[in-house]
Structure 1
Amino acid sequence: MSERALDKLDPVLVHHIVNTLGWQELRPLQRAAIEPLTAGSDALLLAPTAGGKTEAAMFPLLSRMTSDSWQGVSVLYLCPLKALLNNLAPRLDRYAGWVGRRAAVWHGDIGQSGRRAVLGERPDILLTTPESLEAMLVSAKVDHRDLFSGLRAVVIDEVHAFAGDDRGWHLLAVLERLTHLVGRPIQRVGLSATVGNPDQLLTWLQGAGVGTRPGIVVAPESGRSGAVSGPPQGEVELDYVGTLANAATVIASLHGDQKRLVFCESRQTVEQLGHLLREKGITTFLSHASLSADERRRSEEAFADARDCVIVSTSTLELGIDVGDLDRVIQINAPSTVASFLQRIGRTGRRTGSTRNCLFLATEPDGLLKAAGLLLLWGRGWVEPVVAPPQPLHIVAQQILALCLQQNRIGDRQWVREWNGLAPFDSTAEPILRHLIDRGFLDSDGGMLHIGPEAERKFGRRHFMDMTAVFTGPPEFTVLTGRVELGRIGPSVLTEEVRGDRRLLLGGRSWRVTHIDWQRRRCFVEPADGGGKARWTSLGTQGLGFELARSMRDVLLGEDPPVRLTHRAVSQLAVLRQEHAGRVHSDATLIVRGDDGDDVRWWTWAGFRANATLVANMGGLVDPFQRFDDRFIRLRDGVDPAIWKAAVPDRDQQLRMPEVSEKALTGLKFSAALPTELAMATLGARVADIRSAEEVLADRVRFA
């Protein structure tokens, strides 16, 4: 092992790397990360799944811990999933033990005795989630100033999973409050799979410290840009099977004596496929967010120890949770992003001599087209940029309220310092603060602010635990057999009319409903010999992105992804190309009138957000009732080239944001703590895709 790569690491740690782990050499990322991390730089470490990112971050930080005599909780290790924390904890505690240090876990599933142990004997590394970190800051039982007094560094695992949604804004704001609390900069280290914009992600990660602290992207296997270099690696096959039942038949007949991880895009599909596979005698385990933590853990542990078996999962197993040595990844239809696919295919090929692989099974024509478009982007080496949602004004409101809980009272002129100038948690938030006071979320007394009655009414349940989560989930019922919790189910399954027994499908098994406690949202069940439904309510999705929609158009124009296509896939793609022949063009968008003359559609192939933006700017051209989806916008009858030219915005005209309904505010948590116009503006900005809409308007338009 290269001495130059190791001379900055603690010698005891090096001894264990060589003799305990038996490593003859560090991986490129691990070697490249040593110098910047031991020097105290912020860093974004990029590598494919199973690329050794955890060790790349922790070996230098453990070395600093010993050389600089860090004391108490000196490193926070943040993850997006509790299961990932549980999975990592034994490994990190083992590494820490080599240099006489400890690691411990704190999250929502850790009981009071475990928390008391952490507070009584402080670990050197604390593994937690941003929500649990916030809960520690606002808890009256935790002396957060004393607990975090020794904090020096924070590692954010799967940082891309935070940065792309509101959990990322929440994470940044909490880190700034911690920085202000300890009174010194905290080194930030992000771990990520390949992303399309690593430099921007690093800038985001540094928060208010960008430009004042050194920062570096470390990506020796991906190139400095973080983009995929050269042709993508992996054996990928695309098949069209037509139905989920046929997919189960294919999975059951292939890859005997191998461990297979099957990804589905909904919990309902996971349940249905798991049930179908079990009916065929396949040893099958399930994992999704509505199964209880114990059910998921039992499945993942059993799968890790078994052979010739299948685990069917939503994206819960997309991140780095260890489920043993996988042989195959199978994808039902397609994920929505190339980044997700890279995470999933990266679960295979970890053994020496093995190859990363993925089999796509499309159960419907649209699923085949989406999969082909996604694989075409993958073949081009393109990965989505990770972009934080714009205008997180509801998170600003949440953070002001959380700060009041943390400090009991805050000065009405001093609060803005807590986030160290990070926008939008700065002086521009003054209107939000005024609204919180006017509506009773905050009380003002002699220049000091504290939690008001409206905040207690809206968010005060369970000691304000609702304050620490930034998402609103649809209502669900807890399902129990005896005293054992199986998971949660959507209410529609319990309210629809049925003949005879009401049966559920949960955990891939059939259950008969014996009692429903409507007030406490509990459903009691017992095993049944078959049948049942699984269904959950969704708060809606943003649809396809611009690049994926355009890539699907390229497929329809005749371009094939660089993967093996089965005869069934080739045949169905030919059918799709024939059906869409009059809806795609290589250098124009098409306006097509239906055979009856009434259905006029503008086939933009621009994705949901770009089409929403176009609709907001097309005046009277758009059908007011059935308006658009990812691929087309429905126009009014009678639109001709002259009417079109008169109504379409000029290229130099600034486009408006889409209008949103007040009903949509139910999915924006803490929207009640915002003025309605600001909450609506937040949602409008998030539905918009101005850049892509402008690109569509710059295209030629043909009337077919």
Structure 2
Amino acid sequence: MLELHPVVVHHIVNSLGWPDLRPLQRAAIAPLSAGEDALLIAPTAGGKTEAALFPLLSRMATEHWVGPSLLYVCPLRALLNNLHPRVTSYAGWLGRTASLWHGDVGSAARRRVLWERPDIVLTTPESLESMLVSRHVDHAQFFSGLRAIVVDEVHAFAGDDRGWHLLAVLERLTRLVRRPVQRVGLSATVGNPADLVAWLQGSNRGKVPGTVVAPDLPVPVAGVGADVVTVGGGRPPAGDVELDFVGSLGNAAKVVAALHAGEKRLVFCESRQRVEELGALLRGHGVTTFLSHASLSADERRRAEQAFAEARNCVIVSTSTLELGIDVGDLDRVIQIDAPATVASFLQRIGRTGRRPGSARNCLFLTLDGDALVHAAALLHLWGSGWVEPVRPRPQPRHIVAQQVLALCLQEQRVGDRTFVEWWNGLDPFGHPEAVIARHLVEQGYLERDGGMLFIGPAAEKAYGRRHFMDLLAVFTGQPEFTVLAGREELGRIDPSLLTDEVEGDRRLLLTGRSWRVTYVDWKRRRCFVEPADGGGRARWLTAGVGGLGFEVTRAMRDVLLGADPPVRLTQRAVDRLAAERDARAAAVHPGSAVILRRDDDLRWWTWAGYRANVTLAATLSEVVDPMQRCDDESIRLRADLTPDEWRRLTADAADRLCLPEVSARAVAGLKFGAALPPRLAEATLAARLADFDGAAAILARPTRFFSVHS
């Protein structure tokens, strides 16, 4: 610890009572003290925040950083609120200050931040950009002392459009301060850490060293020029994992209610509707139950999470909102209903347990049907082999390029039509935005051009100008929902279809795990007023976007059906049902080839390739695919009259002519900022994101056998 500032070392030993730092924290000191960009990888509660802050606070003191010199960026406001007291305490050791700036921070508190200029600002990318475009913030002066940026849960950004948005905003900040800004990412385990740190570096790449600091990695590190520092003694303990089959949500509620009485249990579900339904069932069993999901009001979530943190014998049921590092106190158990989509999500979730000395990480899977059981077994099979998904930035973010051009014009009022690209410091794709995008923005009135300068036009003000252009600063679009109020208290939001469906008698909703009777609907203001009811409520939220599992997980499902068992305990119920699934699907899998199976008039190609690879194959092989079919993760329906000879002839060169999948008009209409693109570019953007050429090519390279069975 000698490399740290003496005051920091003093407080680590005396205020925190730590005899030493964790291996990750020790290993991070040298690269961060040297100003290197870095990616710090550890499981949940692995000490990543301290690993980043202790060296940066030491530099802040020794190098006399002033003003807001450190930004701490998170994907969730709740995570920022949770971190704020801890960051404030650490900063206070050195007489430094930390403040929040996000959408829940009031105007008076914001004015205080601008006046007092704290040393550390905790914020989201959207709130960071709102500061850049605000007329009330002298952004050049406010950010003049910026030296470093910490991006927490960086993996959650990198695989999403928010990641491209974050990188573009960081480049604009770098341009403002006219010097490289150190970038430090904090992440759970990912399959391609060197790629991830290179992505985070942006225009720093090649100018500033990039380092990955991690425990011994469960996968080979492959990337572009990043150094890798491995610490610790191998993979974290595997933990206590059990896989069960219960057959229904009602049975799952009985198991959760019966097991581990007196302990704190966190139950993950894969949808908001299921969270609500399970919460109501658990309360029916007399279990003290709290809920957390994105459609509950912020106050409701905060109350639930605080009450859960302070209680002992209780359950909190959540979607992935509690997958990230929000502190809900010491947990005894994690229970998973069915399975998450990725191994990375599972690692985040099991990482919520085993934090107390002497306790072990644990997770109980309760699967509701055969498909979910096979999926869960496949996920655990991959986990047991040490495999974790690589994080890949979404390709061709042209709509974010359009958004950034508009946001820059708001920030600077007027920008040169030939020099505005310099604000992104050559970062691809923002450093060289396609000329057709800028031309389209001018032609459609989103921008106006005068004397070689670009500025915001009337179409942009009409489309995005509400609430001081807040619609322009959010790069994701939520579905239109109605706010639900019990008196003056906001409970959350619901899908409007629950208010338009025909019902007999009272219209009842399920929200916060309780039933409510609708008393009045304010259609104009999209508000719904309710009062408590005795059961009968319904929950529903329509989801947008493409679902489906990835190539590796779906292939692992095939492996499970062929006999692979995950390295976890299986209950007898799970063993019996898995055997039944293997028997029922035996004709759809073959160890040496893909299977084309004829069952009466249904001819189906069992690729086990995942949704994206299958839609790519279907688009490429339109001559053999049933035109009315809809792809799923596992198979593609073919023309009923297709023969083996015709198949071989029509697919012989398919790997050399893979096509982008077709994109629906509804999907294009749902692309945020898609209207700011020429229609063909919006469609091409979505098609590129839907395609999986590697997965499709891998399937085409395998032999295929025709089989027939009779019902």
Greater displacement, 572-581 / 537-546: 537-546
SS at match of 1:691: helix
The amino acid that maps onto 2:385 is: R
Matched, 1:305 2:310: yes
- Give the conservation status (yes or no) of the 8 Å contact 1:169–1:395: yes
TM-score by length of structure 1 reads 0.98
Q: 2:568 aligns with which of 560, 563, 566?
A: 563
CA distance in 2, matches of 1:175, 1:649: 47
CA distance in 1, matches of 2:317, 2:376: 19
Q: Tell me the CA shift for residue 352 of structure 1.
A: 0.6
The residue aligned with 1:582 is: 587
The residue aligned with 2:521 is: 516
Q: Tell me the CA shift for residue 667 of structure 1.
A: 2.4
Q: Map of 1:674-685 to 2, 5 A cutoff?
A: 674-685=677-688
Q: Tell me the CA shift for residue 540 of structure 1.
A: 3.1
Q: Tell me the CA shift for residue 220 of structure 1.
A: 3.2
SS at match of 1:201: helix
The residue aligned with 1:278 is: 283
Matched, 1:18 2:5: no
The residue aligned with 1:703 is: 706
Matched, 1:135 2:140: no
The residue aligned with 1:169 is: 164
The residue aligned with 2:154 is: 159
Q: Tell me the CA shift for residue 145 of structure 1.
A: 1.0
- Give the conservation status (yes or no) of the 8 Å contact 1:80–1:158: yes
Matched, 1:530 2:535: yes
Q: Map of 1:165-564 to 2, 5 A cutoff?
A: 165-222=160-217, 225=221, 233-564=238-569
- Give the conservation status (yes or no) of the 8 Å contact 1:265–1:334: yes
CA distance in 2, matches of 1:46, 1:323: 21
CA distance in 1, matches of 2:306, 2:297: 14
CA distance in 2, matches of 1:156, 1:556: 40
The amino acid that maps onto 2:564 is: E
SS at match of 2:434: helix
- Give the conservation status (yes or no) of the 8 Å contact 1:66–1:99: yes
SS at match of 1:628: coil
CA distance in 2, matches of 1:302, 1:222: 36
TM-score by length of structure 2 reads 0.97
- Give the conservation status (yes or no) of the 8 Å contact 1:231–1:379: no
Alignment deviations for residues 577-610 of structure 1 (CA, whole Å, 9 cap, x no partner): 011010001121101111x2x1110000000000
- Give the conservation status (yes or no) of the 8 Å contact 1:232–1:379: no
- Give the conservation status (yes or no) of the 8 Å contact 1:32–1:220: no
The amino acid that maps onto 2:165 is: H
Matched, 1:114 2:109: yes
- Give the conservation status (yes or no) of the 8 Å contact 1:590–1:604: yes
The amino acid that maps onto 1:615 is: A
Greater displacement, 622-631 / 84-93: 622-631
Alignment deviations for residues 537-556 of structure 1 (CA, whole Å, 9 cap, x no partner): 11133310000000000110
Structure 2 gaps of 5+ residues are 222-227
Structure 1 gaps of 5+ residues are 1-5
CA distance in 1, matches of 2:657, 2:425: 33
Q: Map of 1:24-103 to 2, 5 A cutoff?
A: 24-103=19-98
CA distance in 1, matches of 2:325, 2:450: 48
CA distance in 1, matches of 2:516, 2:538: 9
CA distance in 1, matches of 2:392, 2:176: 28
The amino acid that maps onto 1:427 is: H
Greater displacement, 218-227 / 56-65: 218-227
Alignment deviations for residues 408-441 of structure 1 (CA, whole Å, 9 cap, x no partner): 1111111010000001112342211011001110
CA distance in 2, matches of 1:439, 1:233: 56
- Give the conservation status (yes or no) of the 8 Å contact 1:46–1:222: no
CA distance in 1, matches of 2:643, 2:75: 51
- Give the conservation status (yes or no) of the 8 Å contact 1:588–1:701: yes
Q: Tell me the CA shift for residue 652 of structure 1.
A: 5.6
CA distance in 2, matches of 1:472, 1:81: 15
CA distance in 2, matches of 1:550, 1:351: 36
Alignment deviations for residues 158-187 of structure 1 (CA, whole Å, 9 cap, x no partner): 000000010000000000000001100000
SS at match of 2:656: coil
Alignment deviations for residues 111-168 of structure 1 (CA, whole Å, 9 cap, x no partner): 1111111111111000000000011111111111111111000000000000001000
The residue aligned with 1:642 is: 645
Q: 2:660 aligns with which of 657, 660, 684?
A: 657
> What is the number of residues matched between the two proteins?
697
The residue aligned with 2:224 is: none
CA distance in 2, matches of 1:342, 1:463: 40
- Give the conservation status (yes or no) of the 8 Å contact 2:215–2:234: no
The amino acid that maps onto 2:194 is: D
The residue aligned with 1:629 is: 632
- Give the conservation status (yes or no) of the 8 Å contact 2:217–2:235: no
CA distance in 2, matches of 1:413, 1:52: 46
The residue aligned with 2:603 is: 600
The amino acid that maps onto 1:614 is: L
The residue aligned with 2:225 is: none
The residue aligned with 1:673 is: 676
The residue aligned with 1:617 is: 620
Report the identity percentage. Answer: 68
- Give the conservation status (yes or no) of the 8 Å contact 1:37–1:43: yes
Q: Tell me the CA shift for residue 663 of structure 1.
A: 1.8
The amino acid that maps onto 1:635 is: L
The residue aligned with 2:119 is: 124
SS at match of 1:188: strand
CA distance in 2, matches of 1:422, 1:368: 44
CA distance in 2, matches of 1:673, 1:231: 47
Greater displacement, 393-402 / 471-480: 471-480
CA distance in 1, matches of 2:236, 2:652: 40
Alignment deviations for residues 665-694 of structure 1 (CA, whole Å, 9 cap, x no partner): 122100000011111110000000000100
CA distance in 2, matches of 1:652, 1:216: 37
- Give the conservation status (yes or no) of the 8 Å contact 1:510–1:527: yes
SS at match of 1:369: helix
CA distance in 2, matches of 1:662, 1:179: 38
Q: Tell me the CA shift for residue 654 of structure 1.
A: 3.7
- Give the conservation status (yes or no) of the 8 Å contact 1:651–1:698: no
Greater displacement, 289-298 / 208-217: 208-217
SS at match of 1:96: helix
Q: 1:370 to 1:423 in 2, by over 3 A?
A: same
CA distance in 2, matches of 1:325, 1:437: 55
The amino acid that maps onto 2:672 is: K
- Give the conservation status (yes or no) of the 8 Å contact 2:40–2:212: yes
- Give the conservation status (yes or no) of the 8 Å contact 1:619–1:647: no
- Give the conservation status (yes or no) of the 8 Å contact 2:621–2:654: no
- Give the conservation status (yes or no) of the 8 Å contact 1:295–1:486: yes
CA distance in 1, matches of 2:513, 2:655: 55
